[in-house]
Amino acid sequence: MQSPTVDIAAALVRPTVASASRGYWPSVGRRLRRDPVTLICAGILLLIVLSSITAPLLGLADPYKTSMIRRLYPLGSPNHLLGTDELGRDMFARLIYGGRLSLFMGVMPVLCALLIGGALGITAGFVGGKVNMAIMRVMDVFYAFPSVLLAISLSGAMGAGTENTLLSLTLVFIPPICRVSESVTTQVRGFDFVDAARASGASALTIVRVHVLGNVLGPILVYATSLISVAIILAAGLSFLGLGVKPPEPEWGLMLNTLRQAIYVNPVLAALPGVMIFITSICFNLMSDGLRAAMDVKA
């Protein structure tokens, strides 16, 4: 037996035997890096996100500047790469600026719902019993409504506007995230190592922090990222119906609505915001799939 005075650092030297994979998350990262689909989607999304964030610095035209003369110019017009919309505003600029709001409306509700729904679900799953029943049955009530209808009714009740839309979308996503969290937590809770942790006398919070979170965050994250694309589409849909973002803010869904009349004049122009919604949500979806595949392998 070694005496405690032996150098602790030396004792924790990495093993000389080469082992194929080390930690779980590093191995997930490695698998993701090898997945071409995920890499391409990540690249596209990065492009979209970066361009939205740096929009003011890109030297684009003013997205709010209207012009009665230069309305509905087709693609490839001089000074207007993607033409102009029904009020003469530059489409390219509006699409890029629109990305800011659309992406924000896609990611923020999911993030908030993740925090709230995740916490509720993990609590319900770990504690079980009556607490679980109370939380999950409340969630069931909301879950009974189809998400689109729920979003519309909540927005309709609260009125249009960015903040209200954010709130209603968050509320729509809390129940499904809560449900997934509860289910995964219940599963992990049944594993022997959690029982061993309970048998060591640690507090429930410590056990959740050390043992449960690391094992449940993965699946919950995968589910949440798959919801981002739904959020973007829902937000766009709400704006399309006039329940979301108010004009003249550029937002892809709203742009789809206001460009409806342009379908007969210049259908390609009218479809452009739809194309952006499509690309963004597909990329999020495929990335979420890639994440799930990378996490699925039991190293």
Partner 1 sequence: MDALLPPEDRGGPAQPLLLATGLRKHFPVPGGLLGRSGKVVRAVDDLSLSVAKGETLGVVGESGCGKSTVARLLIRLITPDSGTIVLDGDPVDEPHGITVNELRRQVQMVFQDSYASLNPRLTIAETLAFAPKAHGLPAAEARVRVRDLLDKVGLDPANYAERYPHELSGGQRQRVNIARALALRPRLIILDEAVSALDKSVEAQVLNMLVDLKTELNLTYIFISHDLNVVQYLSDRVLVMYLGKIVELGSVDAIYGNPQHPYTRALLSARPSMDPRRRTKEAPIQGDPPNPIDPPSGCRFRTRCPFAEDVCARTEPPLADTGAQAVACHMRVAGSGHSKAATP
Question: Considering only residues 58, 149, 210, 268, which one is a binding residue for partner 1 as defined by CB under 8 A?
Answer: 210
Of the two residues 22 and 65, which places its CB atom closer to partner 1 in the complex?
22
Alpha helices in the chain (DSSP H): 8-11, 24-33, 36-53, 91-127, 129-143, 147-158, 162-189, 192-199, 204-207, 213-240, 252-258, 267-296
- Contact between 15 and 6 (Cβ < 8 Å): no
Q: How far apart are CA 162 and CA 95, in angstroms?
A: 18
Q: How far apart are CA 144 and CA 101, in angstroms?
A: 29
Q: How far apart are CA 237 and CA 253, in angstroms?
A: 6
Which positions from 184 through 203 interact with partner 1, judged by CB under 8 A?
190-193, 195-203
Question: Considering only residues 183, 215, 258, 285, which one is a binding residue for partner 1 as defined by CB under 8 A?
Answer: 215
Q: State yes or no: residue 29 binds partner 1 (CB under 8 A).
A: no
Q: Which two tokens stand for residue 298?
A: 């039991």
Q: State yes or no: residue 205 binds partner 1 (CB under 8 A).
A: no
Q: State yes or no: residue 141 binds partner 1 (CB under 8 A).
A: no
Of the two residues 16 and 79, which places its CB atom closer to partner 1 in the complex?
16
Q: Which two tokens stand for residue 282?
A: 């597909």
CB of 11 to partner 1, least distance (A): 5
Q: Which stretch binds partner 1 (CB under 8 A): 37-45, 54-62, 204-212, 246-254?
A: 204-212
Of the two residues 263 and 299, which places its CB atom closer to partner 1 in the complex?
299
Residues that bind partner 1 (CB under 8 A): 1-2, 4, 6, 8, 10-17, 19, 22-24, 190-193, 195-203, 206, 210-211, 214-215, 298-299
